[in-house]
């Protein structure tokens, strides 16, 4: 076997929706430029774009465990909510501290923070959020990921709801009324624009890290687990370790998204925002499926299509839009289980080389 | 004593919904995540009767009949596409159904907490030490009767035999001339009917609300996991045990933690099960 | 010579049906031994007992001097004892090369190894072994799209990729095209001779096993019926009767 020819073959056919190495890189650059420019072109849509990038992170992280590894989790929202609470609790503690020293309690409970205090608090909050999420994910993953099939799915579903119920019953976390996050200082400019760029950067980082990981041994391992876990065990592969790493990577990025999302919205509600199983919790699954499970671009595509659809529902079906969302889930899952990319690939005649999956 | 007795009586209702879930799981290999919403729908129907001035006890047969038809409809429109599919598809699709039903009920019945008061008074036991709402006794009896009725249908009737045959080996049953598609429809409709009856009881004993269905789904699942798919006695016993355990934790930790407890119990039971199996070198599937 | 695999009076029953009753056998390092017996005589159950699929009722198993009868599948595999499946098990949605790459051993036991690239040497070895089993031309095809016989070859190559000390092969020639059978036998022999892998082979095809194995065990009704050289076993009246009466 000539290794050079072999290396060339490995590089070339990685094409997903945009094939060919050169054009693909160009396409990626154009996309990134468009994403950065968009908030300036359409300032009215900045908050929409921020939510869109959150959705992209949700779909991408779900797909690590649910798509690439084949473990259908209904409870990833736990890490989103845990990150949100961890970040908010840290920031509140810091801001109380700051008020005592600088404004001597003059501004009331929700006094404005100086930009540097706000950013410092947010940064520390996010760091703690990521830390907490990973610390929770490690033991949880090591135990729950031993379950298979129905049992795993239902167990994660229970976990997600349990987390929400605990948060809404626990006084220290504000119980049912939730928490208020620090006010955004005006000196930092537009809040929506700030968070739009934060979430864009996060989505970009998440994409880059996953793209890298999928090309390492990690990617091979979680794909093997998806295809036949018993075989992987019989071959002595470190399945548990791979599963826990996958779960923790997802938790890490989810917590970074959740930790800032609380600040973006301005307050945290335990059931409707942090541990919102019926919205974000199931949407992340739906977006990944809609775009195409087990692909890198599928969840991103799915998130975009889904977000636009959802906004249209919201605009035109006011009041009934959640009913429509439920209907959409049922329709997509029963009729389009392989997603847009899966459907496109089938239409193209299913060359179905393994490379296509990991575009 | 009060707690134990209450838990026992309420547990029978959980057991009823769980038995329906076991039926669908065993026959069609589908876990119906919308189970709880079917229960709540039955409850709302009963409540709706009371707003018309009709006694809620009539809600029991009504909810059973309406939900039977509704279950059949659900099977024909959605669920029949899920048989023999990837388990993930069926889980997510029924999860979508559950959200759809929640939101529909929210639109139609409103987001208020509803109760259908049967006005049957209470019985005092042990020198007034234990108060027992009569309706709970009625609910207990009805739940057991419904479960026994379902069992009788499965054991004795032709349709029941077809259901059992299909659950053991669908392909063989099909070869023997059993119309499995109808069997599945019947099983799902029967499941919806028992859920409806359970819901009618829930509305009378307790309250219904569009968004609490998921707790009934999880309770059913816990009971089925503990009791297995087979017989009715373990289902009733674990239902009662679950009712008791919930009441006691609600009493010890405060009612606001009661729901969280149900879900944590689920997680713990599943992990325990997997741990026990792995000690025996086996993997839980 | 010391035995690499030592099975001592292993018993296993399922719901009252005894699948294995007090079976003892031993395979020395570097040998090729065969395991035969009519359908339902407990051959696959014995494999499952050895590699840790289910707990044993009684008896012990030692591999390379280590007692393994209480270990789980992955641990036993990491000791260098692998098995292949009668119905092939490959990672269907991955390409042949990826199937091979992921099967490479990773005995450095820490998490960092997950994040590393697949080393060029591993890819090279993967390509080489695919060549060895004659699948080089298909290396970028999805494993799930291969024919049954090709999947068997791939599964065998994946097992070799792991550099096992010993392979338990469950009917490596069953269900594959008769013209491929000789190729398969040839590769088994070469894997044993050139790579030094000890083999224990379940085989239905008597001609194959007689040519391949130096020592044969015959099971019937869960018991060890006979053991010895191919000549001895073939001429053992009990074996003849088990085959004629049993099938």
Residues C94-134 have pLDDT tens digits of 999 999 999 988 755 555 567 778 888 889 999 999 999 98
To the nearest whole angstrom, how far is the Cα of B111 from the nearest Cα of chain A?
13
Residues C89, A231: C-beta atoms closer than 8 Å: yes
H/E stretch holding A268 reads strand A267-268
Residues A148, B284: C-beta atoms closer than 8 Å: yes
Is a pLDDT exceeding 80 seen at residue A4?
A: no
Find the mean pLDDT for residues C176-184: 82
Q: Alpha carbon of C202 to those of A50, B98, B121, C21, C32: distances in Å?
A: 61, 50, 73, 18, 11
Query: For residue B48, what is the domain's CATH number?
Result: 1.10.3470
Q: What angle do CA A304, A307, A309 make, to 5 degrees?
A: 105
Is a pLDDT exceeding 60 seen at residue A101?
A: no
Q: Are B105 and B41 in contact (CB under 8 A)?
A: yes
Q: What is the pLDDT of residue B128?
A: 60
Residues of A with CB under 8 A from a CB of C: 1, 3, 6-7, 9-10, 13, 213, 215-218, 220-221, 223-224, 226-228, 230-239, 241-242, 245, 294, 352-355, 357
What is the average pLDDT score of chain A?
A: 82
C111 → closest Cβ in A6, A245, A355: A245
Instruction: Identify whether A41 is part of a domain.
Output: no
* Domain total of chain B: 1
Chain B residue numbers with beta carbons less than 8 Å from the beta carbon of A157 are 33, 95, 218
Instruction: Identify whether A357 is part of a domain.
Output: no
Residues C53, B278: C-beta atoms closer than 8 Å: no
Q: Are B18 and B225 in contact (CB under 8 A)?
A: no
Residues B53-108 have pLDDT tens digits of 888 888 888 889 999 999 999 999 888 888 877 777 888 888 888 888 988 888 88
Lowest mean pLDDT among A337-351, B36-50, B74-88: A337-351
> What is the C-alpha separation between A168 and A178, in angstroms, rounded?
7
Residues B116-155 have pLDDT tens digits of 776 666 666 655 666 677 777 888 888 888 888 888 888 8
- Between C15 and A91, whose confidence is greater? A91
Instruction: Identify whether B159 is part of a domain.
Output: yes
Is a pLDDT exceeding 50 seen at residue A107?
A: no
Q: Is the predicted ipTM greater than 0.90, yes or no?
A: no
Q: What is the pLDDT of residue B72?
A: 93
Instruction: Identify whether A209 is part of a domain.
Output: yes
In this structure, the number of other CB atoms found within 10 A of the CB of residue A359 comes to 20
Going by C-alpha positions, the residue among A225, A262, A297, A233 that lies closest to residue A54 is: A262
3-state SS record for chain B:
CHHHHHHHHHHHHHHHHHHHHHHHHHHHCCCCCCHHHHHHHHHHHHHHHHHCCCCHHHHHHHHHHHHHHHHHHHHHHCHHHCCCCCHHHHHHHHHHHHHHHHHHHHHHHCCCCECCCCCCCEEEECCCCEEEEHHHHHHHHHHHHHHHHHHHHHHHCHHHHHHHHHHHCHHHHHHCCCCHHHHHHHHHHHHHHHHHHHHHHHHHHCCECCCCHHHHHHHHHHHHHHHCCCCHHHHHHHHHHHHHHHHHHHHHHCHHHHHHHHHHHHHHHHHHHHHHHHHCCCCCC
Residues A263-282 have pLDDT tens digits of 898 888 888 888 887 788 88
| Cβ neighbours for B281, distance < 8 A, ≥ 6 positions apart | C52, C53, C54, C55, C70, C72, C73
To the nearest whole angstrom, how far is the Cα of B207 from the nearest Cα of chain A?
18
Q: What is the DSSP letter of B114?
A: B
Q: What is the pLDDT of residue B258?
A: 78
C94 → closest Cβ in A3, A7, A227: A227
Instruction: Identify whether A249 is part of a domain.
Output: yes
Q: What is the pLDDT of residue A20?
A: 53
Q: What is the pLDDT of residue A354?
A: 39
Q: What is the pLDDT of residue A17?
A: 43
Q: Are A288 and A298 in contact (CB under 8 A)?
A: yes
Please, which residues bridge with residue C155 across strands?
none
pLDDT confidence of A86, banded at 50, 70, 90? very high
Burial (CB count within 10 angstroms: exposed 0-12, middle 13-18, buried 19+), residue C214: exposed
Residues of B with CB under 8 A from a CB of C: 278, 280-282
Mutant choice from C14, C48, C72, C74 vs B, greatest count of B C-beta within 10 A: C72
Is a pLDDT exceeding 60 seen at residue A18?
A: no
Q: Are A118 and A92 in contact (CB under 8 A)?
A: no
Q: What is the pLDDT of residue C112?
A: 59
pLDDT confidence of B280, banded at 50, 70, 90? low
Domains of chain C: 3-87+164-246 (3.40.50.300)
Domain that holds residue A68: 52-275
Two tokens at A312? 């249209």
Domain that holds residue B231: 2-279
Q: Alpha carbon of C92 to those of A39, A158, A229: distances in Å?
A: 43, 31, 12
Residues A200-252 have pLDDT tens digits of 999 999 999 999 999 888 999 999 999 999 899 889 888 888 999 999 999 99
Percent of chain B with pLDDT over 70: 90
* Residue A266 Cα to chain centre, angstroms: 20
Q: What is the pLDDT of residue B127?
A: 59
* Domain total of chain A: 1
Q: What is the pLDDT of residue C75?
A: 86
What is the average pLDDT score of chain B?
A: 82
Which residue's entry shows tokens 């075989």?
A: A231
B221 → closest Cβ in A154, A230, A325: A154
Chains in contact with C, where contact means 3 or more Cβ–Cβ distances below 8 Å, are: A, B
A235 → closest Cβ in C77, C109, C140: C77
- How many pairs of residues across B and C have Cβ atoms under 8 Å apart? 12
Q: What is the pLDDT of residue B120?
A: 65
Instruction: Identify whether B285 is part of a domain.
Output: no
How many residues are there in chain A? 359
What is the average pLDDT score of chain C?
A: 87
Residue C57, classed as helix, strand or coil, is: coil
* A236-250 per-residue burial string, b: 16 or more CB within 10 A, e: under 16: bbbbebbbbbbbbbb
CB distance from A159 to chain B under 8 Å?
yes
Of the ranges A344-348, B143-147, B253-257, which is most confident? Answer: B143-147
| Cβ neighbours for B163, distance < 8 A, ≥ 6 positions apart | B23, B27, B154, B183, B186, B187
To the nearest whole angstrom, how far is the Cα of B274 from the nearest Cα of chain C?
14
């Amino acid at each position: 076997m000539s290794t050079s020819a072999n290396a060339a073959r490995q590089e070339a056919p990685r094409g997903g929706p945009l094939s060919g190495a050169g054009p693909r890189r160009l396409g990626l650059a154009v996309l990134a430029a468009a994403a950065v420019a968009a908030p300036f072109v359409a300032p009215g849509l900045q908050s929409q774009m921020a939510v869109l990038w959150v959705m992209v992170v949700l779909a991408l992280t779900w797909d690590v465990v649910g798509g690439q590894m084949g473990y259908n989790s209904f409870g990833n929202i736990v890490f989103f909510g845990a990150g949100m609470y961890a970040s908010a609790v840290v920031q509140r503690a810091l801001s109380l501290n700051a008020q005592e020293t600088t404004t001597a309690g003059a501004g009331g409970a929700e006094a404005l923070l100086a930009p540097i205090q706000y950013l410092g608090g947010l940064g520390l909050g996010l760091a703690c959020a990521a830390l907490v999420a990973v610390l929770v994910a490690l033991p949880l993953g090591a135990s729950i990921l031993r379950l298979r099939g129905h049992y795993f799915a239902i167990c994660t579903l229970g976990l997600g709801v349990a987390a929400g119920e605990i948060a809404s019953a626990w006084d220290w976390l504000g119980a049912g009324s939730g928490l208020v996050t620090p006010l955004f200082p005006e000196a930092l400019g537009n809040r929506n624009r700030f968070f739009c760029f934060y979430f864009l950067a996060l989505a970009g980082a998440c994409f880059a890290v996953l793209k890298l990981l999928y090309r390492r041994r990690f990617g091979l391992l979680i794909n093997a687990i998806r295809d036949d876990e018993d075989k992987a065990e019989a071959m002595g592969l470190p399945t548990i370790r791979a599963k826990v790493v996958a779960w923790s990577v997802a938790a890490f990025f989810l917590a970074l998204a959740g930790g800032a999302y609380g600040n973006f919205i301005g307050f945290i509600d335990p059931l409707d925002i942090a541990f919102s199983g019926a919205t974000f919790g199931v949407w992340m699954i739906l977006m990944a499926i809609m775009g195409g499970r087990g692909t890198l671009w599928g969840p991103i595509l799915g998130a975009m299509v889904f977000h636009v659809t959802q906004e249209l529902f919201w605009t035109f079906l006011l009041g009934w839009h959640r009913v429509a969302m439920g209907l959409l889930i049922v329709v997509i899952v029963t009729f389009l289980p392989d997603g847009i990319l899966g459907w496109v690939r089938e239409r193209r005649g299913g060359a179905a080389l393994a490379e296509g999956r990991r575009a | 004593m009060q707690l134990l007795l209450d838990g026992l009586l309420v547990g029978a209702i959980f057991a009823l919904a769980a038995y329906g879930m076991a039926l669908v799981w065993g026959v069609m290999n589908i876990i119906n995540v919308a189970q709880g919403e079917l229960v709540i729908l039955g409850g709302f129907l009963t409540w709706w009767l009371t707003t018309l001035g009709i006694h809620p006890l009539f809600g029991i047969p009504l909810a059973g009949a309406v939900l039977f038809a509704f279950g059949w409809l659900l099977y024909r429109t959605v669920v029949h596409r899920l048989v023999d599919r990837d388990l993930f598809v069926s889980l997510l699709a029924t999860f979508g159904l559950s959200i759809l039903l929640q939101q529909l009920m929210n639109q139609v019945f409103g987001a208020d907490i509803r109760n259908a008061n049967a006005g049957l008074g209470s019985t005092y036991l042990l020198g007034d030490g234990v108060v027992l709402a009569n309706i709970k006794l009625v609910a207990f009896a009805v739940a057991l009767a419904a479960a026994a009725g379902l069992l009788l249908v499965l054991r004795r009737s032709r349709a029941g035999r077809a259901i059992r045959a299909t659950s053991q080996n669908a392909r063989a049953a099909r070869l023997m001339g059993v119309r499995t598609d109808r069997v599945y429809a019947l099983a799902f409709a029967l499941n919806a009917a028992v859920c409806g009856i359970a819901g009618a009881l829930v509305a009378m004993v307790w309250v219904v609300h569009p968004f609490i269905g998921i707790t009934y789904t999880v309770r059913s699942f816990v009971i089925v996991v503990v009791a297995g798919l087979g017989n009715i006695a373990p289902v009733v016993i674990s239902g009662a045990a679950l009712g008791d355990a919930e009441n006691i934790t609600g009493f010890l930790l405060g009612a606001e933690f009661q729901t969280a407890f149900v879900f944590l119990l689920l997680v713990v039971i599943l992990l325990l099960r997997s741990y026990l199996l792995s000690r025996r070198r086996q993997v839980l599937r | 010579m010391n035995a690499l695999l030592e099975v001592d009076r292993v018993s296993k029953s399922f719901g009252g049906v005894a699948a294995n009753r007090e079976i003892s056998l031993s395979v020395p390092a570097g040998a090729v031994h065969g395991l035969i017996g009519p359908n339902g005589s407990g051959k696959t159950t014995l494999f499952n007992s050895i590699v840790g699929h289910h707990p044993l009722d009684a008896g012990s198993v030692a591999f390379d001097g280590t007692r393994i009868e209480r270990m789980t599948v992955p641990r036993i595999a990491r000791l260098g004892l692998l098995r292949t499946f009668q119905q092939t098990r490959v990672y269907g949605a991955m390409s042949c090369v990826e199937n091979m790459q992921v099967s490479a051993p990773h005995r450095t036991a820490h998490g960092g190894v997950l994040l590393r690239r697949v080393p060029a040497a591993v890819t090279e070895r993967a390509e080489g072994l695919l060549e060895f089993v004659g699948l080089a031309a298909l290396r970028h095809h999805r494993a799930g799209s291969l024919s049954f016989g090709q999947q068997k070859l791939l599964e065998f190559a994946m097992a070799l990729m792991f550099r096992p000390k010993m392979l338990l092969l469950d009917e490596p020639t069953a269900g594959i095209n008769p013209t491929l059978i000789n190729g398969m036998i040839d590769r088994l022999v070469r894997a044993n001779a050139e790579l030094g892998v000890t083999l224990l082979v379940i085989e239905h095809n008597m001609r194959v096993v007689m040519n391949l194995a130096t020592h044969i065990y015959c099971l019937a009704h869960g018991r060890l019926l006979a053991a010895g050289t191919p000549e001895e076993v073939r001429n053992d009246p009990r074996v003849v009767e088990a085959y004629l009466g049993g099938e």
